[in-house]
DNA sequence: TTTGGCAGTCTCGATCCGCGAGTGCTAACT
DNA sequence: AGTTAGCACTCGCGGATCGAGACTGCCAAA
C-alpha cells in the first residue's frame, strides 16, 4: 500500500476533473483538455507536472506513454471519499420511480422485484436486491395443510405478506381436523414472533395432550432449522444494460460476472461482507474480494421494513461510472422501496 | 420460398456431413475436407459439383467466394427433419441429471428452478422453463387471513404444493373468525377444482347468509380474474454458457437476446406460439418471429404434471448447435422433471 | 458422370507507415 | 520557486499493402 499522500487543493481539483471527464467520455484525459475545459488559468505544462505527481502517488495511471491519464482504483476511492458532489436525482427520474412503484404488486416479493427492475432502469447498470432474512421476520399467520396422512404442508405468512412454505413428514398420521386445531392454537401463541425467537419459547405452549405437543414441537423445530439454513436470495436485473458499456465489448469480462450473478450463493456472501459505515457504501474495483468484480464497482445501501434494516439494495457497474448520479439514484430507489414496504402493513 | 427440391441420397449425405462438421468445428466446410473425412470414394471435384447444387437450392451458403459452405436455416431444417440421428444421452449426463434432481426441494417452484439449472448445465445453452398456468391447476386448499379489517389475504395451495397469494379489499370489515369459517366452507366446496372451473360454479354454494355469500362471491371472483390476467412466468438459466459460444463474441447479438430474457412477457408469447407436432419442437433462426432470435434456435418440449401437459421446457442456443445431442438432453430433462413432479403428490 | 488440373477469387494475418495525441524535459520568465 | 513556452520523442491507431493459403468454378479428358 502506498503511503497516504495528502493532496493539496489543486491536485484534488485536477483529480476530480480527470475522474469527471473520464466517466463521461471514456477516453484518457490529457493535459490540454484539462487546461481548456477545467483550468483556463493554468497552462497545460503546469497540469502536466501535477499529473505526473498524481501518477507517482498512485491516483492516476496512463494506459500507455503517449496517452492521457485515467484514475486508478485509489483515485476513484479518493474521489468518492472526498471529492464527489451530491447530485439530486432529476424530477424525471423521481417521477419514473414513483410511477413504477405505484404499479407494483402488494407483496414483499413483488415490490423487491420491482425495485430491482427500477434500479437497473434508472442507473443503467445491474441491480442487486437481497430479500429479507425470513428467520428475522415476524410471523403473522400459520396454516397447516394435510397432504398425505403423514405429511404436512406448513404455510407461514410473515410480515409484509411474505409467504413461506415447507413440507414436513410426521411420525404418525394426522388428519386435517387435528391440524387445523393445532394451527389455530399456534396462531394465538406465535403471532408477532420471529422464527428465531420461536425456538427459545417452546415452553410457553400450553399443556396440551402429549401427542399433539410432540407434533407441534416437531413443526416448530422444522420451521426454525429450515429457515436458518436457507441462504439469502439475491435478485438482480438489468444485465442488458451492462452490454452497452464499452468496457464489456469483450465478453471475457462478462463471463465471470454472469456466473456470479447466476449462482446467487457467492454473491450473497459478498454482499454480507460489506460493512455499512455510511448510508451508501461503495466498493471499487480490486477492493472487491471476488475476481469477477475486479473491474466493477458496487454501490450499495440498505432498505427498511417495519423500521428495521432488512436487506441490501444497490448496483454493480463498471468502475468507470458516474458515481454521484448513481449514488443519488440508488438512495432514491432505496427510500422508495422502504416507503412502499412500510405501507404494506405488518 | 424456394420450391421444395427433393434431395437425392448423396446430396442428403453431403448436407448431413456439412451440418455435422460445421456444428463441431464452427468453420465453413470445404470440398476437400468432406472428401477426406466423409466421402473417401469420391473426389473433391464431384463434391464441389454437389455443393454448388446445394447452394443453388438454398440448403447451403458460402460466407464468401473462396470459403467452404455452411448450412442455411433451410439446410438446418432439412437436417433436423430428415437427417438427424437420435443420440442417447450419455450415462454421465444421466447421472448428473438424476443427482441434481435428488437435491431439489419438494415444491413445483423449486423443481422447475432446478430443471432450468440442470438443463442449462447439460446443454451448455440458455434454458427456458414456463411455469404451469395457475388457472388450470386444481385447488387443494384455501386459506383466508385478515390483514386489516377490510383487507384479506387469500392463500391458494394448488396441486404440487404451489402456493399463490393475493390481497383483496372488501366492502366491509370482516373478522378473522368469520374468514376462517368461510375458508373451511370453501375448502369443502372447492377442493379439486381449477380456478377456471370455479368461475362457472358459484351456484353450487350452499345457501348461506346473503352477506357472507356476497363476500365469498367477491373472493372467488377475485381469484378467477386475478389468475386469468396473470401472465406466464418464464424461468431461464445459463446465460453464462452463451458467452462461451463464438457466435456471441460481439455483444450486439447478446443485447437483444438479454432484453428478451429479462422481460419475460415477450418470451412467454413466443413460447405460446409454438405448436407441438412432435414431442420435441425445433425452431430455427429466422423461423423465429422475434428479431432477437434470428441467429438462434429453440429446442422445446413439454413437461407433465398430474398426467397433463403443464408447461414448456427447452433451450435457446446458437443456430449452429449439436441438435442431436441437445434434443436428447432436453428430452431427458423434461422426462426427469415430469417424474419428479409426479412424485410430489397432488 | 466423374475426375484431375488450373486459373481465379477472396480472406486473413503480418508488416509497414504516417498522423495525431500527448508526454517529459529544459530553459526562460515572473 | 513556481510557471510557462517550446520541442523532441514516444506510442497507439487506422489505413494501405502484400503474400500465403484455402476454395472454388470451369474445362477437358477419362
On whether the CB atoms of residues A163 and B141 are closer than 8 A, the answer is: no
> Domain with B125 in it: what CATH number?
3.30.450.40
Position B255 pLDDT exceeds 60 = yes
**8 Å CB contact of B244 and A255:** yes
CA dihedral B78, B80, B86, B91 (to 10 degrees): 150
CA at A50, C1' at C28: how many angstroms apart? 20
Indicate whether A194 belongs to any domain.
Answer: yes
**What is the share, in percent, of chain B residues with pLDDT greater than 70?**
93
| Domain closes at, from A200, A229, A258 | A229
The per-residue pLDDT string of chain A (346 residues; one tens digit each, 9 = 90 and over) reads 445 567 899 999 999 999 999 999 999 999 999 999 999 999 999 999 999 999 999 999 999 988 999 999 999 999 999 999 989 999 999 999 999 999 988 888 899 999 999 999 999 999 999 998 887 888 888 888 888 888 888 888 888 888 888 888 888 888 888 888 888 888 887 778 887 777 666 555 555 667 777 777 777 787 777 766 667 889 999 999 999 898 888 787 888 999 999 988 889 999 988 888 889 999 999 999 898 899 999 999 999 998 888 899 999 999 999 999 999 999 999 999 999 999 876 5
Q: Which domain holds residue B13?
A: 9-83
On whether the CB atoms of residues A125 and A317 are closer than 8 A, the answer is: yes
d(CA A101, CA A303): 15
d(CA A78, CA A11): 11
Residue among A239, A245, A101 at smallest CA distance from B262: A239
Same domain, B242 and B270: yes
Residue among B129, B126, B98 at smallest CA distance from B115: B129
Same domain, B283 and B237: yes
Higher pLDDT, B152 or A112: A112
Q: How far is CA A187 from CA A267, A333, B144, in A?
A: 36, 35, 13
CA at B88, C1' at C2: how many angstroms apart? 38
Place of cell 469527471: A20
Q: How far is CA B230 from CA A67, A217, A230, B304, in A?
A: 55, 38, 28, 21
CA at A46, C1' at C22: how many angstroms apart? 14
On whether the CB atoms of residues B334 and B302 are closer than 8 A, the answer is: yes
Of the candidates B148, B161, B251, the beta carbon closest to that of A251 is on: B251
Same domain, A113 and A251: yes
Mutate to test the interface with A, among B116, B139, B157 (most CBs of A within 10 A): B157
Grid cell locating B153 = 389475504
Indicate whether A289 belongs to any domain.
Answer: yes
**8 Å CB contact of A157 and B140:** no
Q: Of all helices (H) and strands (E), which one includes residue B289? A: none
d(CA A199, CA A196): 6
Letter string b/e over residues A192-224, b meaning 16 or more CB atoms within 10 A of that residue's CB: ebbbeebbeeeeebeeeeeeeeebbeebbebbb
Indicate whether B31 belongs to any domain.
Answer: yes
- Packed helices A251-262 and B251-262: angle between N→C axes, nearest 10 degrees: 20
Same domain, A335 and A240: yes
Grid cell locating A105 = 404488486
On whether the CB atoms of residues B243 and A251 are closer than 8 A, the answer is: yes
The answer to whether the C-beta of B27 is closer than 7 A to strand C is no
Residues of chain A contacting B165 with CB distance shorter than 8 Å = 107, 161, 163
On whether the CB atoms of residues B71 and B64 are closer than 8 A, the answer is: no
| Domain closes at, from A83, A102, A120 | A83
Mutate to test the interface with B, among A113, A127, A153, A176 (most CBs of B within 10 A): A153
Report residue B2's pLDDT band, with 50, 70 and 90 as the boundaries: very low
Scanning chain A, the segments in alpha helix (DSSP H) are 9-25, 31-37, 44-56, 73-78, 91-102, 108-123, 176-190, 195-200, 210-229, 239-244, 251-262, 264-273, 323-342
> Domain with B22 in it: what CATH number?
1.10.10.10
Total of domains in chain B: 3
**8 Å CB contact of A240 and B255:** yes
Same domain, B308 and B334: yes
Same domain, B69 and B212: no
The answer to whether the C-beta of B64 is closer than 7 A to strand C is yes
pLDDT of A177: 84
Same domain, A129 and A214: no
Same domain, B102 and B38: no
Q: What is the radius of gyration, based on Cα positions, of chain A? A: 26
CA at A61, C1' at D3: how many angstroms apart? 24
The DSSP 8-state label assigned to residue A278 in this structure reads S
Same domain, A224 and A276: no
Report residue B203's pLDDT band, with 50, 70 and 90 as the boundaries: low
**8 Å CB contact of B240 and A248:** no
Same domain, B217 and B173: yes
Indicate whether B75 belongs to any domain.
Answer: yes
Indicate whether B270 belongs to any domain.
Answer: yes
The DSSP 8-state label assigned to residue B93 in this structure reads H
**8 Å CB contact of B240 and A249:** no
Kindly identify which residue of chain B lies nearest to residue A157, measuring between CA atoms. Answer: B145
Indicate whether A3 belongs to any domain.
Answer: no
Same domain, A52 and A162: no
Grid cell locating A133 = 432474512
Classified as helix, coil or strand, B227 is helix
Same domain, B205 and B246: no
Report residue B201's pLDDT band, with 50, 70 and 90 as the boundaries: low
A319 Cβ neighbours under 8 A, 6+ residues apart: A73, A76, A247, A284, A285, A295, A296, A297
> Domain with A219 in it: what CATH number?
3.30.390.60
The DSSP 8-state label assigned to residue A208 in this structure reads -
Indicate whether A329 belongs to any domain.
Answer: yes
d(CA B224, CA B196): 7
Residue among A166, A102, A93 at smallest CA distance from A124: A93
Report residue B286's pLDDT band, with 50, 70 and 90 as the boundaries: very high
| Domain closes at, from A56, A83, A110 | A83
d(CA A292, CA A285): 10
Count Cα atoms within 13 angstroms, Cβ side, for A207: 0
Q: How far is CA B285 from CA B253, B292, B319, in A?
A: 13, 10, 6
Report residue B160's pLDDT band, with 50, 70 and 90 as the boundaries: confident
pLDDT of B207: 55
On whether the CB atoms of residues B307 and B331 are closer than 8 A, the answer is: no
Higher pLDDT, B224 or A208: B224
Report residue B3's pLDDT band, with 50, 70 and 90 as the boundaries: low
Letter string b/e over residues A32-71, b meaning 16 or more CB atoms within 10 A of that residue's CB: ebbbeebbeeeeeeebbebbebbeebbbbbeeeeeebbbb
Position B209 pLDDT exceeds 80 = no
**What is the share, in percent, of chain B residues with pLDDT greater than 90?**
53
Grid cell locating A180 = 387445523
User: Which residue lies nearest C4, CA-to-C1' measured?
Assistant: B45
On whether the CB atoms of residues B120 and B244 are closer than 8 A, the answer is: no
Indicate whether A47 belongs to any domain.
Answer: yes
pLDDT of A23: 96
CA dihedral B182, B183, B184, B190 (to 10 degrees): 110
Indicate the average pLDDT of chain B.
88
In this prediction the pTM is: 0.90
**8 Å CB contact of A249 and B244:** no
pLDDT of A227: 67
Q: How many residues does chain A have?
A: 346
Amino acid at each position: 500500500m502506498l503511503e497516504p499522500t495528502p493532496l493539496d487543493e489543486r491536485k484534488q481539483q485536477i483529480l476530480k476533473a480527470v475522474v469527471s471527464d473520464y466517466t463521461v467520455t471514456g477516453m484518457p484525459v490529457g493535459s490540454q483538455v484539462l487546461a481548456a475545459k477545467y483550468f483556463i488559468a493554468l497552462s497545460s505544462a503546469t497540469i502536466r507536472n501535477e499529473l505526473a505527481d498524481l501518477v507517482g502517488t498512485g491516483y492516476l495511471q496512463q494506459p500507455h506513454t503517449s496517452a492521457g491519464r485515467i484514475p486508478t482504483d485509489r483515485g476513484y476511492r479518493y474521489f468518492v471519499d472526498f471529492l464527489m458532489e451530491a447530485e439530486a436525482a432529476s424530477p424525471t427520474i423521481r417521477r419514473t420511480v414513483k410511477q413504477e412503484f405505484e404499479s407494483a404488486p402488494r407483496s414483499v416479493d413483488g415490490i423487491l422485484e420491482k425495485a430491482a427492475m427500477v434500479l437497473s432502469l434508472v442507473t443503467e447498470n445491474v441491480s442487486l436486491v437481497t430479500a429479507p432474512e425470513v428467520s428475522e421476520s415476524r410471523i403473522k399467520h400459520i396454516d397447516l395443510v394435510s397432504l398425505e396422512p403423514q405429511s404436512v404442508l406448513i404455510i407461514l405468512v410473515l410480515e409484509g405478506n411474505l409467504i413461506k412454505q415447507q413440507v414436513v413428514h410426521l411420525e404418525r398420521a394426522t388428519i386435517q381436523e387435528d391440524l387445523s386445531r393445532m394451527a389455530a392454537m399456534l396462531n394465538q401463541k406465535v403471532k408477532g414472533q420471529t422464527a428465531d425467537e420461536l425456538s427459545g419459547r417452546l415452553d410457553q405452549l400450553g399443556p396440551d395432550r402429549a401427542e399433539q405437543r410432540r407434533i407441534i414441537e416437531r413443526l416448530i423445530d422444522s420451521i426454525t432449522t429450515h429457515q436458518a439454513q436457507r441462504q439469502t436470495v439475491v435478485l438482480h436485473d438489468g444485465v442488458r444494460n451492462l452490454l452497452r458499456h464499452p468496457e464489456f465489448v469483450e465478453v471475457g469480462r462478462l463471463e465471470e460476472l454472469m456466473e456470479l450473478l447466476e449462482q446467487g450463493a457467492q454473491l450473497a456472501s459478498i454482499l454480507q461482507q460489506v460493512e455499512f459505515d455510511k448510508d451508501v457504501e461503495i466498493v471499487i474495483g480490486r477492493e472487491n474480494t471476488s475476481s469477477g468484480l475486479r473491474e466493477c464497482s458496487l454501490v450499495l445501501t440498505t432498505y427498511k421494513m417495519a423500521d428495521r434494516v432488512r436487506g441490501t439494495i444497490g448496483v454493480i457497474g463498471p468502475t468507470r461510472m458516474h458515481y454521484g448520479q448513481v449514488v443519488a439514484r440508488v438512495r432514491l430507489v432505496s427510500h422508495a422501496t422502504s416507503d412502499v414496504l412500510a405501507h404494506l402493513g405488518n
